Amino acid sequence: MGPRLAGLMITDLMQAVSFLRDRSETDADRISAMGYSLGSFVVGMTGAVDERIHCCVLAGGGNFDGPGEYWDRSKPMCQGAPYRSLQALGDRGAVLYALHASRGPSLIYNGLEDNVVNIPNHGRPFFQDLRERTIELMGGEANVFDVGFLKGASHRPHFVTRPVVLWLESHQGFPPNWSDQDIREMPETRIGSWAEKYSVETDPGYATEIREFGTTALRDDIPGVDRSLLNVFPDTEWEAQKHTLVHEKWRERVRAEISGR
């Protein structure tokens, strides 16, 4: 069930890429994917298999480790079981990032105090070793992942910050009004202040300075958006269809299929 759930999330991202490639305003050769926390796991898996993705950014994760370590023991349904299912690859982290390198550039960016995904024990030496093993598999450094860290920070969506956007500009490029110089001169917003200004609903576990609230995001003119406007379905349609969409019902269907085999 775990690998199947991860497969559904990977498929969601691949379908998003397919959707963007069909849009006339999209450059199909410069579609990138960014993921945070569980999203970093999904991007880590998808970026290894979908060659249509140009750049990948893994924030709050990307430290694919060995047997019995963090990712094997993480949330079983969406991370632990799927990651354990990849043991046949051998050195899973190096193999995944070798596949990434064959696709294009990738960046892993973490707070040095991120104890959610074990970064204090997986700091610079861990990533240097992982990078060297990936280079050995690839036979060279071309497109082997870059690494960045932020002191004094824990679990955060670092892809909204200046260093990561500058990396994307250098590897992918943005429209003319987002040049390297433009990005360096853009104002920043502390997410905690932004959330307070727009009365954004926040989980207390995230609303601390070392975590999301302390994130400094680019720009100071991003408005708050009501949560209802971010939903895929209007409330009436959600109420009509949620019995087919929520995880609990999906799990019941999978168990029934498995028991019927």
**pLDDT range class, residue 2, cuts 50, 70, 90:** confident
Radius of gyration of the chain (CA): 19
The residue range of the domain holding 106 is: 2-156
Residue 208 within a domain: no
pLDDT at position 46 is 98
Q: Which of 60-69, 82-91, 237-246 has the lowest mean pLDDT?
A: 237-246
Strand 56-59 relative to strand 146-150: parallel, antiparallel, unpaired?
unpaired
pLDDT at residue 256 above 90? no
Report the pLDDT value the prediction gives residue 85, as an integer from 0 to 100: 94
- Nearest 5 degrees, angle CA 238-CA 244-CA 248? 105
Quick check: 175 pLDDT over 90?
Answer: no
Does residue 119 sit in the same domain as residue 10? yes
What CATH number has the domain bearing residue 116? 3.40.50.1820
**Of 200, 174, 36, which Cα lies nearest the Cα of 109?**
36
Q: What is the pTM of this model?
A: 0.92
**Angle made by CA atoms 8, 11, 13, in degrees to the nearest 5:** 120
- Residues 141, 235, single domain; the answer is no
DSSP-derived 3-state class of residue 194? helix
In a domain, 161, yes or no: no
* Alpha carbon distance 43, 30 (integer Å): 16
Q: Please indicate, yes or no, if residue 46 is contained in any of the structural domains.
A: yes
Contact at 8 Å (CB) between 185 and 219?
A: no
pLDDT at 198 over 90: yes
Q: How many domains does the chain have?
A: 2
Examine the domain organization and report whether 146 and 248 are in the same domain: no
Instruction: Decide if 111 is inside a domain.
Output: yes
pLDDT digits (tens, 9 = 90+) for 224-249: 988 888 888 888 999 999 888 887 88
